[in-house]
Structure 1
């Protein structure tokens, strides 16, 4: 038996006892026959098994309310929420409560954080405009509230940790993809938002292609800073991207560093340029899946949105419930390349479809 991964269930099955019986023995809760208790203790001593400290503490039930605040694209937020809901289901019996506040604007996010700050023991947030909320977050931290960031960092604050993507490296990955799938020279357009993360993605992308003289990188074009309504595509955005394509007949690829990838796909499709103009961007949604299957989008880079929802809550809960030390100040998610050829193997695919 692999001691590193041994669980209470494994021990219960080996001894033909219930998991609750093993739990009562390990946590000394009584109501266990003396002979049974001796048998369990003898067996775990022979194994050298050591109960997980966090689980032992959680068994005592520590009430803990964690606030979650974000301003994110709707479909991305759905995947974040899957992670939040999963960790809540796992830990709610041990006292975890989660307050989720999804903002429709950075200004609303500021108000929501203020309103929930008196009701929570810790805060996990994804900030769209650091300058707007930075002072408030620092004040909360100064008042003793544990704060973590996910998806978007506040590196100049005293936050405990960040859980999310390295945006410069994600841009590098996209640059490498386009370099490998684009066979002819020409222009490559960058579309992004006017924010620091868009800049990181653009810089990472350019760093890969800067020495490749067969490509002329144009942009960045700042298109669609507001989030699209779930399930719809802004017609104005499609028209803006079509204009870029029409104005640049030698365009061979578009790198979409924001949430307008599906709009770019529609623009390419409407102009009959699928396959001729390569499209690469970020994140996997229902509409993205369809465009990948039709060979309009060649690849997307995903950033583990489920984990971005799951782990910040779990880490903060273990900090408060047990005093468990946080291992590092940055937890960087994997960058997962999804293409038509591996689409059905991607772990989020069933949920998206």
Structure 2
């Protein structure tokens, strides 16, 4: 459970840009709903002319008993999926450092590597084939306790309060293996039971997702997560991946997971000395903005630096290997910003439940 008052972030004026004519319109004129309308001048960035999104909606349910129970259960352990529909955009780096940052802040945090490339597993210094993990858990060969690795149950150098479920290349064959065991398995449900169990042991569960939605674990993240955190670099193709992922969030909200919310956008490897970088950052601010003008981009941006691959080579996060480095401080600030948004959402949910309970008592 998260407590405390959200911090107020003061953002300066956005730098002038020839693309300022693109403005975000409200889909429904409420603070909890928005429409991302991308005009044709962004065609050079590979984005479609119209990208409707209803994002970052704090809980405003029609208070049925079923939905209220689902919302209450959500806060037993918060599930945050980190993704982008394009690879090589800092997705795994973001997932690892968000998890390490939240653990550093005192939360019992699980990093679940769902990517067959096992980037998060390698980043924390684990050899993918040395431990059972995601593959064995989803096949039912081990339970969640056996899948979770921490410094307390293995002789490895892991941060306090952080656990990981490792991945391996053989996860690529998960669907064919599951299909051979049960012809009627539902790809959207493969994470449901493990996550329900993990919620009881962790405050926050961070899912590092594959860049595509081909494999069932990737599809299931959309169905199982409470929040989706988008990661990108200020690069036209990476920004296009944001648009694709945002459309997927919208589609899932309309079908498999109506509680899924967009938590924010993290920009990695930012070099503000280049004009294109500044323009793309401003574009993200405008495309992912609320009707009040606030951006869903989490601040600060993460600077381009060789310290990230250096920490990866050491099998550690920048936060743990180089705690005084500016990039470590930036990632910790992102963790704090995530805390703030979760606190705001939790407060809004608490108020909504109280109002619903009061209304029920007055009938």
TM interval, short-chain normalised: under 0.3
More strand by share: 1
Larger Rg: 1
TM-score after normalising by structure 1: 0.24
TM-score after normalising by structure 2: 0.23
Q: Which has the higher contact order (CA 8 A, sep 6+)?
A: 2
More helix by share: 1
